[in-house]
Structure 1
Amino acid sequence: MRLVRQNYKNGAKWRGFRGGIALLALTAVVSGCADDGSGGVWPAHGQQPLKAPPARALDGYASKLRLAQAQRVAAAKRWGLAQTPLTAPPAPARKPVIKARKGFEVNGQEELGLPPVFTTIPTKNRVVFLTIDDGAEKDPRFLRMMSELKIPYTAFLSNYLVKDNYRYFRKMRDRGITLNNHTLTHPYLPGLSYAEQKHEICGMQRVMRNQFGRRPTVFRPPYGNYNQDTLRAAKACGIKYAPIWDEEVFVDHWEYREDDRDLHPGDIVLSHFRGRNDWKGTMPDMVRRFMKKVTAKGYAVARLEDYL
């Protein structure tokens, strides 16, 4: 039986239509039809399946979206944001090809298959990526703020700063945040030998596996400084990507790599786990400054790992 939805002009007729579909599905079941396991109903004599109407599922999905947005609006007000954060588009089905930024390559970059160093993800989406380094400040309000606002970020951890409270970063991991490698002691890597650099990177890989359950494939060299030995050592330790950053945000200002001093689609933004001991404010203060500019410029914050 084929049903054609006509141009119903009022809610009563649409509700009647939906009721008719429900009655039809019930009749099919009573008359010996079987559920095919995919939401359709197969008649007993092999005719085409009758699909249940999508209206109820669509209504439920729309309700969830409205609730999620209302919660985000309320969270934005509660945390003192100037505007409600924009929602990032879905993760790309086809990941962009990541190459070393021009001028950031090392000798043998492609021939040796070394992890690329880059500052921006190639995408046309109006998204940026927040990355936070080191691990000195362990502010519980920051965890709550980011969870309630549903703002994704990526952490790059150094063991000498996180070892006094691995539990804080496990909470972060359990909330869906990816934890990545930022060496054991945060040294100036180009000043070390290959063996010493490998110890710093592979040693942190072991810490990450033992404390957080996985060895990352993403690594950030301290201070953004590296040489060929750094990337060779990183590759030997299982690293595939070495992102640095295009902008850096503090509690009271921004700093820029590009002369235009602006955001661009796919930019990676750096900040740090810092508080009043180092800044004139807190990590929530930093997030407010970050989100004020990002949202005003029409950007959403996306999850870095979704693009790698």
Structure 2
Amino acid sequence: MKKTLALWAALTAVALFATGCTTADADAPAASTSGSVTPSAGTGTGAPGVPATRDPRPAAYAKWGLKPLAPPPAPPAKKPVTRAAGQPVPVVSDIATDEKIVFITIDDGAEKDPEFLAMMRDLKVPVTMFLTDSAIRADYRYFDPLVAQGHGVANHTLTHPNLRTLSADAQRREICGQQDRLTAEYGKRPRLFRPPYGNWNEATRAAAGQCGLDAIVLWRESMQIQNMQYQRGDRKLHPGDIILAHFRGPSELKGRTMTQMTANLLRHIQEQGFTVARLEDYL
């Protein structure tokens, strides 16, 4: 009997060796031909010890009827636009770059749509807000979540006047006064300034410099309700273009909402092969 059992065990061992199986191998997954485990669809890298994660962007964008924008390139090591010591404040409508990026700026602050806060939280698209005190003072706190999300706060004067009609002193009061107000409300002194209506003169430039601003920012395109207005004859976006939009409500948008206008803007940008970068990284 003992001889029979020993012979059976020996024959079993030979069979297992010949097939390449062991009791430990029987429950293990088959090895990938590439030498690594293939991750499940929609997961992370599959690196050992790293939990697989699903990219949240498609779902976040789909919520607003959009496809994800391409990630922007890394910011340049040296900003393309700087204010040289002793020189006037630069005035820019676009940024010199070969990258297919544009910059979104939103003016005034009159409309305070709570859905827009949710949209910006979901999409994580950078914008720069040029705020006017007379438009935001009824609810300064509306903009706190946007500031916390990392969106830029910039100066658009206290009362939105046509600066070219004002004296140098009056211009300085409008610009420096808004610098102080925004700093007090949001904890950081703005670096960028946009004159209302895009109207400025050399007194504006001097006042901006005296108030500690680094650049006067104009624009190349403006977003209306569904379409953009272009300054160039080819009616196309160009690398580095600055786009103007406004915090607008349903009465201005003919029944549409701020989020619908923003979605249309993002579609125009994406359809032309561009993505959105952070303006403050370039100025």
TM-score (norm 1): 0.74
Residue among 241, 245, 262 paired with 2:236: 262
What is the 5 A alignment of 1:38-77? 59=47, 67=54, 70-77=55-62
Residue among 200, 208, 211 paired with 2:174: 200
Higher RCO structure (Cα 8 Å, ≥6 apart)? 2
Greater Rg by CA: 2
- Listed one character per residue, the Cα deviations across residues 149-196 of structure 1 (whole Å, up to 9, x for unaligned) are 111100000000100111011121111111110000000001000000
User: Which residue of structure 1 aligns with residue 155 of structure 2?
Assistant: 181
CA distance in 2, matches of 1:208, 1:111: 25
1:159 aligns with 2:124: no
**Residues 58 and 201 (structure 1 numbering): CA distance in 2 closer, same or farther, change over 3 Å?**
farther
**Runs of 5+ consecutive residues of structure 2 not aligned to the other structure:** 1-30, 38-43
CA distance in 1, matches of 2:107, 2:219: 11
CA distance in 1, matches of 2:47, 2:117: 32
**Runs of 5+ consecutive residues of structure 1 not aligned to the other structure:** 1-9, 17-55, 100-109
User: Which residue of structure 1 aligns with residue 261 of structure 2?
Assistant: 286
Contact 1:181 1:205 in 2 (8 A): yes
Residue among 74, 82, 88 paired with 2:72: 88
User: Which residue of structure 2 aligns with residue 51 of structure 1?
Assistant: none
**Residues 191 and 201 (structure 1 numbering): CA distance in 2 closer, same or farther, change over 3 Å?**
same
CA distance in 2, matches of 1:95, 1:58: 37
Three-state SS of the structure 1 residue aligned to 2:193 is: coil
| Residue 114 of structure 1, CA deviation | 1.3
User: Which residue of structure 2 aligns with residue 247 of structure 1?
Assistant: 221
Contact 2:126 2:278 in 1 (8 A): yes
1:216 aligns with 2:190: yes
| Residue 218 of structure 1, CA deviation | 0.6
| Residue 291 of structure 1, CA deviation | 1.1
CA distance in 1, matches of 2:243, 2:34: 52
Amino acid corresponding to residue 287 of structure 1 in structure 2: T
| Residue 111 of structure 1, CA deviation | 9.8
Three-state SS of the structure 1 residue aligned to 2:233 is: coil
| Residue 297 of structure 1, CA deviation | 1.1
Amino acid corresponding to residue 91 of structure 1 in structure 2: P
What percentage of aligned pairs have identical amino acids?
42
Amino acid corresponding to residue 142 of structure 2 in structure 1: Y
Bigger drift between 126-135 and 279-288 goes to: 279-288
1:233 aligns with 2:207: yes
CA distance in 1, matches of 2:239, 2:147: 26
CA distance in 2, matches of 1:97, 1:140: 34
Contact 1:251 1:282 in 2 (8 A): no
| Residue 94 of structure 1, CA deviation | 2.3
**Residues 11 and 120 (structure 1 numbering): CA distance in 2 closer, same or farther, change over 3 Å?**
same
Contact 1:98 1:121 in 2 (8 A): no
Contact 2:81 2:282 in 1 (8 A): no
User: Which residue of structure 1 aligns with residue 9 of structure 2?
Assistant: none
TM-score (norm 2): 0.81
Amino acid corresponding to residue 158 of structure 1 in structure 2: T
User: Which residue of structure 2 aligns with residue 300 of structure 1?
Assistant: 275
For the aligned residues, what is the CA RMSD? 2.5
| Residue 74 of structure 1, CA deviation | 0.7
CA distance in 1, matches of 2:145, 2:81: 32
User: Which residue of structure 2 aligns with residue 171 of structure 1?
Assistant: 145
CA distance in 2, matches of 1:15, 1:134: 54
Structure 1 runs, 4 residues or longer, greater than 6 Å off? none
CA distance in 2, matches of 1:111, 1:163: 34
